[in-house]
Amino acid sequence: MRVSYKWLKEYVDIPVSPEELAERMTMTGVAVENIEYMGKNLNKIVTARIETISPHPNADKLVVCQINTGSENLQVVTGAPNVREGQVVLLALVGATLPDMKITRAKLRGVESFGMLCSAQELGLDPENFPPEQRNGILEFPGDTPLGVDVKELLGLDDVILELELTPNRADCLSMVGVAREVSAVLGTALKLPEINVTETEESIDGKVSININEPELCGRYVGRLIRNVKIGPSPNWMQQRLQAAGVRPISNMVDVTNYVMLELGQPLHAFDYGKLKDQTIIVRRAEEGEKLYSLDNVERTLTSDMLVITDPAGPAAIAGVMGGLESEITDSTTSVLLEAAYFKPASIHRTSKNLNLRSESSMRFEKGIDINGCLNAANRACQLIQEMGAGEIVSGFVDNHPSPSGNTVIRLRPDRIKLIVGVEVPGDRIKEIMLNLGFNVKEDGGDFLVEVPTRRGDISLEIDLIEEVARLYGYNNIPITLPEGASTEGRKTEVQAAVDRILDLMTECGLNEIITLSFMNPRNFDMLNLPMDDSRRVAVTVENPLSEEQRVLRTTVLPGLLDILARNSARKNKDLAMFEVGRVFVPVIGEKLPKEILTLGAVVSGKTPGNWQVRSYEMDFYYLKGILESLFRALNISGYSFVPEKGNHAFHPGRAASVRLNNEDIAVIGEIHPSVTENYKLNERVYAMEVNLEKVINACKGLKRIEPLPKYPSMERDMAIVVQRDVHAGEIIDDIKKNGGKLLKRVELFDIYEGEQIEKGYKSLAFALQFQAADRTLTDEEVTDAYEKIRNALSQTHNAQLRA
């Protein structure tokens, strides 16, 4: 909403500067987001008359004008196509500033020039606001315009525009009078509202207009007034300037009046050509499905049955509250006008304007809610202006179809409640003063106030709404600063939250950067990941109205996000990448409205560890990532998991992937990304990735309960090197060692793997460090040897393992 400071001052006393007004309004809830000083770039530009024009001696396209500014005669060279002798124009004097230039004394092709004749563009004005013949040349003014008048005064540019940023509840401020009321409440100064009285002719409206509302739910009121002897022409300058200040283009007196009253009072009006209405009858009804109408902007609109239309018996004449129809439009030949001032249901207008993708100043006001009790007043105001301008004569009386009139609401306002909510005791007198300044009537009732709220403030229906009015006008910054009293509470993270934090710490400690990617993904990723058609990850939550196909579904796996970011980085030549993300994946659940949201950890590594003169860099491979996952388990005190070869996950290399199982559940998958998948993501290097179900992991993480006492007796170490067939999994052997090691075996570590010359082909050697220990005694050699032999025998039976010399 653009508010002209000059215009506003007509309605309310403003003893402060525009800046201070803006600050005070902002701090009381009607934010001024910008202050525009209209003519601030225009200096030393005045009206002047072209007395004579002579050809330029050296240039065909230039002429030399002798110009009278009222106080002096100046010679100006111009190339403007539309100059005429006797014309009143705007002359930028030597030393003048315009938005994009400064005027200096100049010689044009040898002839001196003392200024410049101005076009709309050069003045920073919209050429569309001027007659067509002036749009490509200089501006021209009536011959009787006084000379030497400053452009700002002439065009009403000596004004300041306050641009309001209104919250949705303050539709009452979508009018100059509404803003004036707010200013009056904020500053506590007097309102000076326009007095409305209509001079009517003898002719009565009775029997000349009939208005039928078929949908009282959608149209709460319809006021019509009839205007005869209409003379279409331009509206007066003052009105045009105010419209322009508000950002509305002047068109003709009749249209300008409707716009002017809308800006002044907030009530959109519509003017129909009365002669074109069949049977002089208005019917407000729903459109028929597929019914068509050419709107004022000359577009054929196809209507639906949830749209409200203003019709005559022959068909639709306007889309109610949104835009008029071309057929009943006011033209130069219009002689009688039916003026509409109506109230339409906000939700209906909102839907219609959205569905037609057609927004107007009018629809914007209706959808935010106007004052149903202001319709007649606005119609009268328009009639008054039309009559005063001599644009028409007002037929006596009006039609007011108002099916269920309602009055003002009375709300009880308790000072105790104000104290409780706001935290400060506002004196009763001050409460009353605030209400009165808002224009609300107040009655005292046993310590409370009964406040009568006018219908123009549709946002106020509860006591809390009034408390807000008190708080904002009392001033938020006058409210003291306190801290909540009452029972103290303990702030602490839940175990799950603490575990997630631990996981984030651990992943970064292991050298991975945390990333955050969007929860959306392109379903194409399922193909890019090689997922078979029946893979459960293909069943995703679909977004009905995504911004693009890239964001069509919610992720069921974090891998695509990680691979995309990897690809983006590697395209930018960022090498050696190690990244992770903790976020939710979304799994639809049959029979449930909401999907299951599973907290998931994803990580990728690709490239090498850092190396230099001191340490060789090496590839971050499967075991690098596995080590990180094992560290994570260790950090969370999780044990009893196993890595099982995974050949069925098609996103991964069939020989280099594992499922991680814990308590008979898959809790993670880890492996090298399948080469065809890396190719799909335009990754050139091997990529290792894992995806971990954190809910299951955190469930299994029991935390540390009681410490185990430190051993009092020394441990004994024995190495065991065995030879087994190459395809035997080391994990199985370790499991068997543990199973057969008895209570004395404390630790097993695989410290070497060997395949090669010294070993038979198809076999490999594995070397383990075994640690034996008892809590209550120092072990003897025999005891350890017994345990060692038991393990060896078991391994030779189960895996045909040979002890290596």
Which of these, 546, 541, 639, lies nearest to 584 by C-alpha position?
A: 541
Among 253, 336, 569, 680, binds other proteins (CB under 8 A): 569
Are 286 and 308 in contact, with CB atoms under 8 Å apart? yes
Among 278, 412, 493, 634, binds other proteins (CB under 8 A): 493
Q: Using CB under 8 A, which residues numbered 117 to 146 contact other proteins?
A: none
Q: Using CB under 8 A, which residues numbered 524 to 543 contact other proteins?
A: 541-543
Which of these, 118, 318, 344, 41, lies nearest to 213 by C-alpha position?
A: 344
Which of these, 624, 609, 639, lies nearest to 689 by C-alpha position?
A: 624
Among 427, 612, 640, 727, binds other proteins (CB under 8 A): 612
Q: Is 730 in the site for other proteins (CB under 8 A)?
A: no
Instruction: Tell me the CA distances in angstroms from 429 to 415, 434, 444, 448, 470, one per residue in order.
Output: 11, 9, 11, 12, 12
Q: Is 509 in the site for other proteins (CB under 8 A)?
A: yes
Q: Are strands 160-165 and 292-294 parallel, antiparallel or unpaired?
A: unpaired
Contact region for other proteins (CB under 8 A) — 50-58, 252-260, 342-350, 671-679? 342-350
Beta carbon of residue 595, minimum distance to other proteins (angstroms, whole number): 5
Continuous segment of H or E residues that includes residue 130: none
Q: Using CB under 8 A, which residues numbered 580 to 609 contact other proteins?
A: 580, 583-584, 586, 593-595, 597, 609
Kindly tell me which of 252 and 551 has the beta carbon lying closer to other proteins.
Answer: 551
| 460's tokens | 């106020």
Q: Is 19 in the site for other proteins (CB under 8 A)?
A: no
Q: Is 167 in the site for other proteins (CB under 8 A)?
A: yes
Beta carbon of residue 360, minimum distance to other proteins (angstroms, whole number): 16
Are 252 and 330 in contact, with CB atoms under 8 Å apart? yes
Which of these, 780, 610, 566, 582, lies nearest to 697 by C-alpha position?
A: 582
Kindly tell me which of 10 and 576 has the beta carbon lying closer to other proteins.
Answer: 576
How many residues make up the chain in this entry? 805
Q: Tell me the C-alpha distance between 88 and 71, whole Å.
A: 15
Beta carbon of residue 543, minimum distance to other proteins (angstroms, whole number): 5
Are 280 and 209 in contact, with CB atoms under 8 Å apart? yes
Q: Is 464 in the site for other proteins (CB under 8 A)?
A: yes
Kindly tell me which of 157 and 579 has the beta carbon lying closer to other proteins.
Answer: 579
Q: Tell me the C-alpha distance between 119 and 136, whole Å.
A: 8
Q: Is 411 in the site for other proteins (CB under 8 A)?
A: no
| 389's tokens | 């301008």
Among 508, 639, 778, 785, binds other proteins (CB under 8 A): 508
Q: Is 611 in the site for other proteins (CB under 8 A)?
A: yes
Cβ neighbors of 220 (< 8 A, separation 6 or more) are: 343, 344, 345, 372, 402, 403, 404
Q: Is 218 in the site for other proteins (CB under 8 A)?
A: no
Among 481, 590, 704, 710, binds other proteins (CB under 8 A): 481
Among 15, 132, 143, 168, binds other proteins (CB under 8 A): 168
Q: Is 355 in the site for other proteins (CB under 8 A)?
A: no
Cβ neighbors of 601 (< 8 A, separation 6 or more) are: 503, 507, 558, 580, 581, 582, 690, 691, 692, 694, 697
Kindly tell me which of 574 and 800 has the beta carbon lying closer to other proteins.
Answer: 574
Kindly tell me which of 31 and 376 has the beta carbon lying closer to other proteins.
Answer: 31
Contact region for other proteins (CB under 8 A) — 328-336, 380-388, 546-554, 701-709? 546-554
Q: Is 482 in the site for other proteins (CB under 8 A)?
A: yes
Contact region for other proteins (CB under 8 A) — 162-170, 259-267, 437-445, 756-764? 162-170
Among 452, 465, 666, 695, binds other proteins (CB under 8 A): 465
Please work out, in degrees rounded to the nearest 5, the angle formed at the alpha carbon of residue 775 by the alpha carbons of 774 and 778. Answer: 55
Task: Tell me which residue has tokens 């003709």.
Answer: 252
Q: Is 40 in the site for other proteins (CB under 8 A)?
A: no
Q: Is 389 in the site for other proteins (CB under 8 A)?
A: no
Beta carbon of residue 684, minimum distance to other proteins (angstroms, whole number): 16
First to last CA, the chain: 92
Q: Is 31 in the site for other proteins (CB under 8 A)?
A: yes
Kindly tell me which of 368 and 686 has the beta carbon lying closer to other proteins.
Answer: 368
Q: Binding mask 421-450 vs other proteins (x if CB under 8 A, - otherwise)?
A: xxxx--------------------------
Q: At what angle do helices 781-798 and 730-740 cross, to 10 degrees?
A: 140
Within 10 A of 19 (CB to CB), how many other CB atoms are there?
12
Beta carbon of residue 573, minimum distance to other proteins (angstroms, whole number): 10
Q: Is 198 in the site for other proteins (CB under 8 A)?
A: no
Cβ neighbors of 378 (< 8 A, separation 6 or more) are: 261, 262, 265, 267, 269, 341
Q: Is 557 in the site for other proteins (CB under 8 A)?
A: no
